Each structure stands twice: as C-alpha cells, then as structure tokens.
Amino acid sequence: MLFNGETGVIQAMTDTEVVIQFSKKDACDSCGLKVVCAPGKESERSLTLPYSGEFSIGQPVQIQEMSNLELHLSLVQFGLPMLAFLVGMILVYMVSGDSQIPREFLAFLGGLIGLAISYFGAKKLVQNIVDTIPEKYLRVVPYE
C-alpha cells in the first residue's frame, strides 16, 4: 500500500493541515504512484494532509490508509480505457454496414476513438481522486 503504516515526523503545521516528513525508502525510486509525495533533495519526502486532534511539530505520526487508493487509481487508469476501447470497437462493428473499408478496420478505428475519449474521462477521474486523497484515503494518527 502507498503510505499505510508508514511513520514520519511532523515538520510544519497550519490550522488545518500538517506537513509530514518521511525518510526516503529504496522503493521510492521505482514507485509509479508519486501522486501525493514529493521526493526532496536530502533523501526525504513529505506529505501534506488535513488533521484533527492534538499534534505538535516534531511529533512522530503514522499514516493509515482508509480506502484502497491504488485499486481506485488502477481501475481508472487501466480499466476505463480498456472498457472504452472495447465498447468503441463493438459499437462501430455493429453499426458499420457494407462499405469499401473492412468492418474490422472500422471497428479498430472506433476502438481508438473510444480510447481517445476515455483519456479525458480518466484524466478527470484521476484528478478528482488526487484532490480527495487527503480527506478520503489517508489519515494521520499519533505513532504508538
């Protein structure tokens, strides 16, 4: 999981958000989900999350994942384009009648059009997920 169970130290605070600093792990170099963390120059990364409760700067905290973020992102990034490609192919294949161009080629073009349309839908959905990551997917708790 992305941050589940990781511990860090509160680096900065505002009235509604905390900046948590983590030490960089080896997995950071090959991570494909660098959506929410920002690797720093000093082998450290940080995460800004909303919080409720009593926290202080320098306090060790732990991140808990409340929902499966990676599954949601994977479904949007891979499932939606595949579904749009298949739907585009099937619709164009069923609708295309007799023409000089083979039906299979037209169906493939329909799939590509569906894939292109899914780009905008997937982009919008991923942006919505990224915008709601702190509120819906991650929670800050004191380190025990």
pLDDT of amino acid 139: 76
The owner of tokens 């037209």 is 106
CB of 88 closer than 8 Å to CB of 106: no
pLDDT of amino acid 8: 83
pLDDT of amino acid 47: 78
pLDDT of amino acid 1: 42
pLDDT of amino acid 72: 82
> What string of DSSP letters covers 31-86?
-S-TTS-EE-TTSEEEEEEE--S---TT-EEEEEESS-HHHHHHIIIIIHHHHHHH
Residue 68 token pair: 């499966």
CB of 25 closer than 8 Å to CB of 104: no
Kindly list the averaged pLDDT for each block of 10 residues, start to end, along the chain of length 144.
Answer: 70 84 64 55 70 83 79 88 95 86 92 95 86 74 77
pLDDT of amino acid 31: 62
CA-based nearest residue to 94, from 70, 117, 71, 110: 110
Give the span between the Cα atoms of 93 and 74, in whole angstroms.
28
